[in-house]
A and B are shown apart, each in its own frame.
Chain A
């Protein structure tokens, strides 16, 4: 199971990096979200995907799954949610003010 997950994460990373190297700002943001998806799945996978009950004591099972990565992923999800929404609004504002979403045209010059 870990092998298939790793392959899927690899695909997410590859597509994410490809999108981040694009010129269009929107594609770059989509690339970052794919990368964060990949990395969250990586956290889940790296704690071994062994079978067990959900981490609830009321289940009274013999084996539980590892509860720590789930907490880490939940933390990381909300953080990347906040950052992504900020990034989207920033891109919107930049599009309004600068009139382009092409990263090639967002080069710095000092005459403003």
Chain B
């Protein structure tokens, strides 16, 4: 029992409720939401410290023992993800201050922001399948509001599609929960894992596993990503950064939990499906990333490629590969937030999102240019930077499983990612300066500060990889040995 576990939910939840009272007082809203994110960050650090020193932490809601009550569980993976969520949220919040505009800020923008954090943190920490569904909905309903806030034509059009896809996938989620409850008769993840192991996974349980795979793939943008490129270009840059860094990664986390904790007995069926979908995702995402010359589209397809890469590690499912997935997941959340923030600044400075109309920006904005360059190298996985250790471990794990074609494809996708981002860098920052017709005011210090902070963190993760790996291998160990998780939850 550890009440610290609930703080990453309670702090943003109370902040979101309080923020509803200060509709027209923007300075108070900003301070309150900043305070809330900082407090969440502190709680996440404390939680990580406890998990590191005392093992997996659990909280039984209302002291009902599992499997009867709802249990919140923080293993190393969940604690790390909550911490990175808080960091990303801080970066996006600082970036929001100058960029989302007063109109949106007066329309409960910060409340929705905090509710989104509640949903994301809840999804990471919950140990109950139906509670996961509820946390998903908290996250998704806030994201509907954030994506449409402002109400431009493009936002309205894209939100209709986004909401439709998500209603469908949520419906399928409930259907999958219903089938699983009908077959197994419990909804607690640890208890599910035990009972699935007892009854032997085959036949109907494989079908349910594939149904869960479809549900979470729709959320994560794994193969079923057709909704993502359009939806993520609609909202303002700060919101896209939040979405690109957090929303798809919650889907990846759900896939990780489902296929390492519950449905890991028949990898010939489930994991080979995952591998095939990962390959298709990397290939199609890579094609999208080089096909467009629109800054937002290029960034959106890069989100998709990295989801494919992460799921390749999950499909390989060896200890090394799972370590790699955790490392790459942490890196990718930070790197994607940074990429979208830099891309947002770029579009703001150039006054357009078309690559062909940009050029020569390095002379006026050297700091932005070099940060973008570093981010591009890091996402591609160039050695001293943070993308490298995760990719190395995933490739190593995939080779151990003799996935030679898939490994080759994943390396090719890294090359494509590098090409697409360097093309963006060269097109926007090198060459002749083009006349900037409708460029907005020069970005303020606060906007640069969030980008610089995330860049520094990315460098820190890259150079201090060994120190980070100590945490990551603990998380990977729990994923590779589900018994550790089950023992921690069901111990009493």
**A positions within 8 Å CB-CB of B:** 20, 25, 28, 32, 35-36, 39-40, 42-43, 45-48, 68-69, 72, 75-76, 79-80, 82-83, 86-87, 90-91, 93-94, 97-98, 103, 106, 108, 110, 112
Complex Cα distance A97/B156, Å? 9
Complex Cα distance A63/B43, Å? 46
Closest B residue to A36 by CB, please name it. B171
Interface contact B154-A108, CB-CB below 8 Å: yes
A to B CB contacts below 8 Å, 18 in the list: A20-B164, A25-B160, A35-B167, A42-B175, A45-B178, A48-B182, A75-B130, A76-B133, A76-B174, A83-B141, A83-B170, A86-B141, A90-B156, A91-B160, A106-B160, A108-B157, A108-B230, A112-B153
Q: A39-B171, A69-B181, A108-B230 are in contact. Are A32 and B160 (CB under 8 A)?
A: no
Enumerate the 7 nearest inter-chain pairs by beta-carbon distance, A residue then B residue, closest first: A46-B182, A43-B178, A94-B156, A46-B178, A39-B174, A42-B178, A32-B167
Interface contact A35-B163, CB-CB below 8 Å: no
Closest A residue to B185 by CB, please name it. A47
Closest B residue to A106 by CB, please name it. B157
Interface contact A94-B160, CB-CB below 8 Å: yes
Interface readout for B37-66 with A: 1 if CB under 8 Å, 0 if not?
000000000000000000000000000000
Interface contact B178-A97, CB-CB below 8 Å: no
Q: Compute the total of residue contacts between A and B using a CB distance below 8 Å.
A: 98
Complex Cα distance A72/B182, Å? 13
Complex Cα distance A76/B172, Å? 12
Shortest B457–chain A CB gap in Å is 33
Interface contact A83-B160, CB-CB below 8 Å: no
Interface contact A86-B168, CB-CB below 8 Å: no
User: Is B75's CB within 8 Å of the partner chain A?
Assistant: no
Question: In the complex, what residues of A have CB within 8 A of residue B174's CB?
Answer: 36, 39-40, 42-43, 76
Complex Cα distance A25/B167, Å? 14
Picked from B153, B157, B163, the residue with its CB within 8 Å of the CB of A86 is: B163
Shortest B59–chain A CB gap in Å is 20
Complex Cα distance A76/B134, Å? 8
Picked from A42, A90, A98, the residue with its CB within 8 Å of the CB of B153 is: A98
Closest B residue to A33 by CB, please name it. B167
Interface contact B156-A79, CB-CB below 8 Å: no
Picked from B159, B353, B354, the residue with its CB within 8 Å of the CB of A90 is: B159
Interface contact B153-A97, CB-CB below 8 Å: yes
Shortest B229–chain A CB gap in Å is 9
User: Is B474's CB within 8 Å of the partner chain A?
Assistant: no
Interface contact A72-B177, CB-CB below 8 Å: yes
Question: In the complex, what residues of A have CB within 8 A of residue B177's CB?
Answer: 43, 72
Complex Cα distance A112/B353, Å? 12
Q: A98-B156, A103-B160 are known contacts; what are 19 more A-B pairs with Cβ within 8 Å?
A: A20-B164, A32-B164, A35-B168, A36-B171, A39-B174, A40-B174, A42-B179, A45-B178, A46-B178, A48-B182, A79-B134, A79-B170, A83-B170, A90-B156, A93-B151, A94-B157, A97-B151, A106-B157, A108-B154
User: Is B148's CB within 8 Å of the partner chain A?
Assistant: yes
Complex Cα distance A93/B294, Å? 28
Closest A residue to B229 by CB, please name it. A108
Question: In the complex, what residues of A have CB within 8 A of residue B182's CB?
Answer: 46-48
Picked from B158, B160, B179, B354, the residue with its CB within 8 Å of the CB of A46 is: B179
Closest A residue to B159 by CB, please name it. A90
Interface contact B154-A39, CB-CB below 8 Å: no
Complex Cα distance A91/B148, Å? 12
Complex Cα distance A69/B134, Å? 15
Question: In the complex, what residues of A have CB within 8 A of residue B148's CB?
Answer: 90
Complex Cα distance A32/B145, Å? 19
Complex Cα distance A28/B170, Å? 16
Question: In the complex, what residues of B have CB within 8 A of residue A25's CB?
Answer: 160
Complex Cα distance A42/B179, Å? 8
Interface contact B168-A32, CB-CB below 8 Å: yes
Docked complex: B299-358 residues within 8 A CB-CB of A: 353-354
Complex Cα distance A82/B170, Å? 13
Closest B residue to A103 by CB, please name it. B160
Closest A residue to B161 by CB, please name it. A106
Interface contact B157-A98, CB-CB below 8 Å: yes
Picked from B152, B163, B178, B353, the residue with its CB within 8 Å of the CB of A39 is: B178
Complex Cα distance A20/B168, Å? 9
Shortest B291–chain A CB gap in Å is 14
Shortest B25–chain A CB gap in Å is 26
Shortest A85–chain B CB gap in Å is 11
Interface contact A46-B181, CB-CB below 8 Å: yes
Interface contact A87-B175, CB-CB below 8 Å: no
Interface contact A72-B141, CB-CB below 8 Å: no
Complex Cα distance A90/B162, Å? 12
Shortest A112–chain B CB gap in Å is 6
